[in-house]
């Protein structure tokens, strides 16, 4: 009698080709699941950062209403405090948001305010000096704005929609302060000339770029209009 083999496909196992096909399909499935999750995380970080920058604006204006001036930026080694303490001529015109001075959180181990991607938030403040006042910057010296007078104040920070034609084409040409996040790429990689306009480290700079997020620009930039600041300080009795 002839014996017939009863082995099934399950007993024989999958071939290498079949296993490869299964792995490819699993890869597509995982990618389809992970991409929306990553996009959702990035949207969460961006929304968190935008909220932090708006809170920073309000804190800076509140500081001016209380102290008659804006704070200086923090440095990498000032522990989140403005530098120098008490204002005047700032150590850096552009530096870090002074989280400790403003009482803001979250902050990193160096006391610097951080964005949703855990990168330090940058902060710049005008250092213009008006003739007839003290020989220190109008906006970071206590009561100096009041001494100089609103009509004579001339803040000089410029924000443009793109680096080309800046400052001829601008969003604002007399901002008193600028606050910005370097976005998800942080200071590790520049994505083009527009991002290059926004420094990644402390220094002296009066010209910046703000755009909606694109594949070549992921900074988030906000600023304080002088008229918003003046109105708030007048209401607080710090400016007449």
Domain boundaries, the chain: 16-235
72: number of Cβ within 10 Å: 29
The pLDDT tens digits of the residues spanning 17-26 come to 777 777 778 7
82 or 13, which is more confident: 82
Minimum mean pLDDT range among 2-11, 171-180, 188-197? 2-11
Mean pLDDT of 72-83: 97
Sheet of 157-160, strand order:
172-175, 157-160, 207-209
Residue 4 gets which letter from DSSP? P
User: What tokens were used for 61?
Assistant: 């204006």
22 or 213, which is more confident: 213
Residue 214 gets which letter from DSSP? B
The pLDDT tens digits of the residues spanning 85-130 come to 999 999 999 999 999 999 999 999 999 999 999 999 999 999 999 9
> Which pLDDT score is estimated for 6?
47
Whole-prediction pTM: 0.84
> Which pLDDT score is estimated for 175?
98
């Amino acid at each position: 009698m002839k014996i017939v083999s009863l082995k099934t496909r399950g007993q024989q196992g999958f071939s290498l080709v079949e296993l490869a096909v299964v792995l490819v399909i699993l890869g597509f499935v995982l990618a389809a699941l992970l991409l929306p999750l990553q996009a959702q995380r990035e949207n969460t970080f961006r929304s968190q950062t935008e909220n932090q920058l708006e809170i920073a604006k309000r804190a800076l204006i509140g500081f001016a209403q209380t102290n008659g001036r804006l704070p200086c930026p923090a440095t990498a080694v000032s522990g989140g405090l403005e530098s120098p303490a008490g204002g005047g001529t700032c150590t850096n015109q552009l530096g870090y948001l002074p989280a400790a001075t403003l009482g803001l959180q979250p902050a990193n181990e160096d006391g610097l305010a951080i964005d949703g991607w855990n990168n330090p938030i940058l902060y710049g403040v005008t250092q213009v000096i008006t003739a007839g006042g003290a020989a220190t910057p109008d906006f970071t010296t206590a009561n100096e704005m009041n001494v100089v007078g609103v009509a004579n104040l001339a803040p000089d920070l410029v924000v443009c929609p793109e680096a080309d034609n800046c400052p001829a084409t601008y969003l604002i040409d007399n901002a008193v302060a600028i606050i910005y996040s370097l976005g998800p790429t942080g200071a590790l990689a520049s994505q083009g000339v527009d991002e290059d306009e926004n420094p990644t480290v402390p220094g002296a700079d009066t010209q910046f770029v703000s755009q909606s997020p694109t594949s070549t620009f992921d900074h988030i930039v906000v600023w304080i209009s002088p008229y918003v600041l003046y109105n708030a300080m007048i209401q607080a009795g710090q400016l007449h």
